[in-house]
Amino acid sequence: MTGRLSRISIVLDHPKDVVNVAGVIRVMKNFGLSDLRLVNPDEFDPYRLEGIAHRSRDLIDSASTFSSLGDAVADATYVVGTTARARTEGRSYATAG
């Protein structure tokens, strides 16, 4: 892949469910993204992933695993993080505008 999309990496930090990983793989495939980085996934079973994220074997085979989030983003210039989980400790946020 060439162009701007080739510079985008998708990082999943401690993903818990292979179905969620497969869903991300499917979205990446649909949008032309190819750099998947997994930080300590609970499960990484290529057979199950391909059974859920059909025709995505290339992405599954090229996915990288890391032992820390810092290692996964060490070569990144700009990092954006999102979560659906509520957190109790204080965080600093950057907002547009």
State pLDDT tens for residues 49-67. 999 999 999 999 999 999 9
The CA distance from 71 to 73, in Å, is 6
Measured over the CA atoms of residue 94, residue 83, residue 1 and residue 65, the dihedral's sign is: positive
Predicted confidence at residue 83, as pLDDT, reads 78
Predicted confidence at residue 23, as pLDDT, reads 95
Predicted confidence at residue 92, as pLDDT, reads 67
* Average pLDDT of the segment spanning 5-22: 92
CATH topology of domain 4-68: Alpha/beta knot (3.40.1280)
Q: How many helices (H) and strands (E) does the chain have?
A: 4, 3
The CA distance from 3 to 16, in Å, is 32
